[in-house]
Amino acid sequence: RQNHKAQSAIQDILTEWEQFCQEMTLTHTLLEELLVSMQWGREQTYYPSTKPHITAGLASTNHKLAKAVNAHLLGNVSTNSQKKIPRTVEFCSTPAEKKMAEMVLCILSSCLYRKLT
């Protein structure tokens, strides 16, 4: 029963991850198209490249593209003059991640209980 619940939670996480990756890829394409079209009639400073194959690389590239679009629309607004506020680490908790965490905690606590008795 616990194995089935754990497998279900893992499958939910994998499904969410796949959807996240698809959305990141679509965002990458849209940001590239937007940036290239904004350069229409001007000296082109950005040339589309191949998509990164790992999600962290895709997220980083999307962030750079978004910054380039922002700079193009708003100009090179310096963020150094703004107060730097240290960010706290936040973990996104999707329903599948919460479910998986609960399953792991439940299994760990039952293992710990068995060891103590």
Residue 106 lies in a domain: yes
Of these ranges, 28-42, 44-58, 79-93, the one predicted with the greatest mean pLDDT is 28-42
CB of 13 within 8 A of CB of 97?
yes
Q: Is the pLDDT of residue 63 over 70?
A: yes
Number of domains in the chain: 1
Contact 27, 62 (CB under 8 A): yes
54 domain residue, yes or no: yes
Model confidence band, residue 47 (pLDDT cutoffs 50, 70, 90): low
Domain assignment present for residue 84? The answer is no
With respect to residue 108, please indicate whether it lies within any of the assigned structural domains: yes
Q: Is 25 among the domain residues? A: yes
Contacts of residue 52, defined as CB under 8 A and 6 or more positions apart, other chains included, come to 58, 60, 61
Name residue, tokens 């089935």: 4
Residues above pLDDT 70, as percent of the chain? 56
Range of the structural domain that residue 103 is part of: 2-76+93-116
**Given pLDDT bands bounded at 50, 70 and 90, which one contains residue 110?**
low
Average pLDDT of the segment spanning 57-66: 86
